[in-house]
Structure 1
C-alpha cells in the first residue's frame, strides 16, 4: 500500500526480538495464552511475504544512508495573509455591531425627545384650561401628573440608553484589541482607536467630557428641566389657590355688607 502511493517502505530487521531467548521469558511473565503464543509462532515461521525496499540490519542510523531528512517549513507569508483576512472580516463585523448600537441609542433619544415634547404640550394645554385632578382627596393641576409621568419616562429612557451605551463600549474595546494587534499589518485598521481618542478628549466649555459623561449630562439636564417645570406648576397652583381663597373671602365680605 505504501509503495502504491509513492512512500518508501523500511523494515527494521535488527528490531526482531522474537528469535531471542529472552522473548520466551517475556511470554511467560506476561501470561500469554496458548492462542497468543501459537499466533506469534506462525508469524515467525511464515515470515513476511514481501521484499522490503530498505532493510535496516544493525541500527536505526542506517536509515540516513537511504533517506535525506529536511526540516518542515510552512509558508508563513501565506498563513499571515489568511490570518490578516480573517482579522479584517472580524473587525468589519465588530464595526457593524457598533453601528447597530449607535442606531439604537439615536432611536431611544429621538423617541424620548418626541415623547417629552408631547407631554410638555399636554402640560401647557391643561394649564391653559386650568384643569385639575383629584387624587386621594387632594386637588392638583392635571399638568403636575403629566410632569411626574414625564420624569418616570425620562428615567426609563436613560436606563435603556445607558444599557446600549455599555454594550457599545464593550464592542469598541473589542475592536481596539483587534486594531492594536494588527496595527501596521492591515492599513487603516486603527479607525476605532482614533475615534475613541477623539471622543475621550472632546472639550465642552474647556472641560474634557467623555461619552459616558455626555450621556449622563444629557439626561440630567432633561430631568432638571422637568423638575423645574414641576416646581413651577406647584408654585403656580399654590398662588392660584391663594387667589381663589382671597376672592372667596372678598365675596363673603361683600355679601355680609
Structure 2
C-alpha cells in the first residue's frame, strides 16, 4: 500500500510508520469516543421520553384518540433513529476507515517488528458469536457479529423498548375510551386534576358521600 523506495533508512522508515500509527490510534480513539457519547445521549433521550410518557399517562392525558404518553414515546423514537443515523452512517464509517489505515501501517511496521499488530489483533478479537435468540432477533442468522452488527443490535433493542412502551400506553388509552367513552373520560381526568390541584386526593369526594 505504501511506497517501498525511500530516501530514508529502514530504521527511519519504521520510526515514521510508528509515529503515523500512533496518530492513527488517536484518531480511532477519537471516533470511538464520539460514538459512545452518541449512544449515551440516545439512552438519555430514551429514558427521558419514557419518564415523561409515564408522567403524562398517570392522568390519562390524550390528544384526540391518542395517548399523550404514547406520542411522547413516538417522539423519543424519532430522536432515537436520528442518533442511530448519525452513529452508523456518519461516524462509524470513519472509525472503520481509521482502523483499516492503522492495520495497513502495522503491516509495514511488522516487516521490521514482527510482533507489532495490536490493531489487527483487536479486529480479530472483535467478532461475537451470538446466541440463537440474538441471531434470530438481530437478523444475523449465519456468522459472527461484527462491530456494525453490534451497533445495529444496540439500536434495535432500544427501538423495540420504545415501541412496546408506545403500544402499551396507546392500548391503555384505547381501552379507557372503549369502556367509558371519550366525554366521560375527559370529565374524569379534569375532575381528578382539579382535586389534585387543591390538595385533595382523587376520589375523596366520592368517599365522603
Superposition TM-score tier, normalisation by shorter sequence: 0.7 to 0.9
Q: CA deviation at 1:189?
A: 2.7
1:111 matched to 2:41? The reply is yes
Superposition RMSD in Å: 2.1
- Aligned residue runs from structure 1 range 11-160, under 5 A: 79-133=9-63, 138-160=64-86
**What is the DSSP-based 3-state SS (H/G/I as helix, E as strand, rest coil) of the residue aligned with 2:113?**
coil
SS of residue paired to 1:223: helix
Return the structure number with greater helix share: 2
Task: Specify whether residues 247 and 147 from structure 1 end up closer, same or farther in structure 2 by C-alpha distance, changes over 3 A only.
Answer: closer
Report if aligned partners of 2:60, 2:173 keep a CA contact under 8 Å in 1. Answer: no
Offset at residue 184 of structure 1 (A) = 4.1
Q: Alpha-carbon deviation of 1:147?
A: 1.2
Q: Deviations over 1:64-121 (max 9, x none)?
A: xxxxxxxxxxxx9x70111111000000000000000011011001111111101100
**TM-score normalised by the chain length of structure 1:** 0.61
Take 1:102 and 1:128, find their aligned partners in 2: how far apart are those partners?
39
CA distance in 2, matches of 1:226, 1:83: 53
Q: Deviations over 1:187-206 (max 9, x none)?
A: 64300000000113x22326
Name the CA shift for 1:141/1:246 in 2 (closer, same or farther; >3 Å): closer
Using CA pairs under 8 Å that are at least 6 residues apart, name the structure with larger relative contact order, 1 or 2: 2
Unaligned runs of 5+ in 2: 1-5, 136-143, 185-209
Equivalent in the alignment of 1:171: 98
Q: Runs ≥4 in structure 1, deviation > 6 angstroms?
A: none
* Unmatched segments (≥5 aa) in structure 1: 1-75, 249-257
Please give the alpha-carbon distance, in whole angstroms, between the structure 1 residues aligned to 2:55 and 2:147. 36
